[in-house]
Amino acid sequence: MFSFILALLGLVNAIYLTVQKLFQVDYCVIGNSCQSVINSSYGIIGGLPLSIYGILFFCIIAYISFQRAFNSQSSLGFELLLLSIGSIFSVHLMIIQFFVIKSFCIYCSFSATVTIVLLVLSALRFNDENDGVSLTHFLPSRYIFTGVSVIFILLVSLIVYSKILSNTYDIEILEKKAATSTIKDFSTTDLNNLAGIEYTKALMQIQSIRKQAFVDYIARYDAAFMGLQLDQYYMAFVQNNLLMNDQNTRSAIKSLKGNPSAFQQYLDNIDDIEQKDFRNRFLDLQKDLLAYYNARFLLDTTYQTQVKDNSYGAIQIGNPKAPLKLIVFSDFLCSHCASFHATMEHLFKRYPDFFHITYRSFPIQGKISELLALYGICSANQNKYLDYADSIYENQRNITYQTIQSFIPESINKQQLQVCINDRIANNLLQNDIKEVKRLNIQSTPTVFLNGYLSNIASIKTELSKLLKTDVKLFNNHSGHSHDHSGHSH
């Protein structure tokens, strides 16, 4: 009886998910991530939502459970076989949900849970009623086989009929329209894909704002607890040599009962912090706050981007098994790229086993940038890419069509270079890089991905420091560019 009720709940859940998919309801009754899961590419098989197959599955299980509970028609082995297949598939879908889509749909998870619970109950009954296991145990009785066959044929006929209708009248299951035009209609996913990494940046910014609001709330709470205004709180623990988690300090400030004059007199007896250290003090204060209140920001603040490989090859240096894999889209005439290259090359030479770098072209300054990119590709064919890049970046302000040749290092065979830049493969490699730039909607140089995540020199330094378990110092090159490279806009 309990299994029958569970199967009915699974059936109702599958019907609800199907309604969600077909009618694109804007919200779930519980949770807010249903649409991102059911509208993913993994939510369709054979042109139909997975929940359609869920309806078929739970109808059959409900029928078998009903016959066992009310008509003493038991086929436990057959039921166990069906539930085993369903559970394996459910676990597969849960892995995709959590680790590929990186979202959570409570109804999808409920469906998987019901299937697994039904499997456990069926296995326990099977074990109680059978001393051993043989092939005949897994064959359905004639009564069960007939009923299951009828249900299967009816539902499959309905599915096939729906497919015929969709093929005849161009009906297909789509996400809710987010934009329309005479050219085509666009779903939210379509627009997100068009926006590329700009959409990713926006998501990261939203999460950063949420995280900062979370930290500010805790800071205001702690300030109020000690009788301080927020500006006084930051003055005490950022501009003065005080620690918020020191109990003596907290007790002393709290005893002032918010008196501004007494608070200022208290600070007059504390050593000041140099202004250049304020930023690090502020970051340390945030970490101490979170630790003190056992607070954690649970939402993702970074989003992985799938950068497609170039089928015509790649410019790569470093250890293929390195923990830090970089993809750098750059332009040889971009001053920020020159600064990034110098700093990154310094890190690579110091820690070569930690980096694998793929250099890709984003020639944003026209034909001369494309020509320089081709020379870079062809220099890489002679294993001289870094020699070439060093020379061009160092002299980029003097680069013209007339002077390019004079800045190509002597270590590079210029005759082979000239043959290469007219080669079809080299040109196709460049055009494929430009195609990927457009697909990702990259707007500036350098654009850097570290292990699939948007990055910059500061985050590279942070990750390297974690691996080395020491604070890595950045190389300050002569060009004077900052290391927070937002890049040049296209």
CATH number at residue 129: 1.20.1440.130
Question: Which of the listed residues 175, 191, 225 is the one where a domain comes to its end?
Answer: 175
**Judgement on whether residues 231 and 342 belong to the same structural domain of the protein:** no
**Judgement on whether residues 16 and 151 belong to the same structural domain of the protein:** yes
**Judgement on whether residues 131 and 80 belong to the same structural domain of the protein:** yes
Helix 278-292 vs helix 197-225: angle between axes, to the nearest 10 degrees?
70
In a domain, 297, yes or no: no
Q: Per-residue pLDDT tens for 294-347? A: 999 988 788 889 899 999 999 999 999 999 999 999 999 999 999 999 999 999
Mean pLDDT of all residues in 417-441: 95
Q: Provide the residue range defining the domain that includes 441.
A: 315-489
Mean pLDDT of all residues in 232-240: 94
In a domain, 230, yes or no: yes
Question: Which of the listed residues 244, 277, 292 is the one where a domain comes to its end?
Answer: 292
**Judgement on whether residues 254 and 350 belong to the same structural domain of the protein:** no
Lowest mean pLDDT, pick from 17-26, 104-113, 136-145, 355-364 = 17-26
**Judgement on whether residues 409 and 482 belong to the same structural domain of the protein:** yes
**Judgement on whether residues 244 and 346 belong to the same structural domain of the protein:** no
**Judgement on whether residues 68 and 117 belong to the same structural domain of the protein:** yes
**Judgement on whether residues 335 and 284 belong to the same structural domain of the protein:** no
Mean pLDDT of all residues in 78-91: 86
Q: Is the pLDDT of residue 196 over 50?
A: yes
In a domain, 331, yes or no: yes
In a domain, 300, yes or no: no
**Judgement on whether residues 485 and 345 belong to the same structural domain of the protein:** yes
Structure confidence at residue 448 (pLDDT): 96
Question: Which of the listed residues 261, 292, 323 is the one where a domain comes to its end?
Answer: 292
In a domain, 310, yes or no: no
**Judgement on whether residues 118 and 218 belong to the same structural domain of the protein:** no
In a domain, 355, yes or no: yes
Percent of the chain at pLDDT exceeding 90 = 52
Structure confidence at residue 301 (pLDDT): 80
In a domain, 192, yes or no: no
**How many domains does the chain divide into?**
3
**Judgement on whether residues 79 and 225 belong to the same structural domain of the protein:** no
**Judgement on whether residues 342 and 472 belong to the same structural domain of the protein:** yes
In a domain, 191, yes or no: no
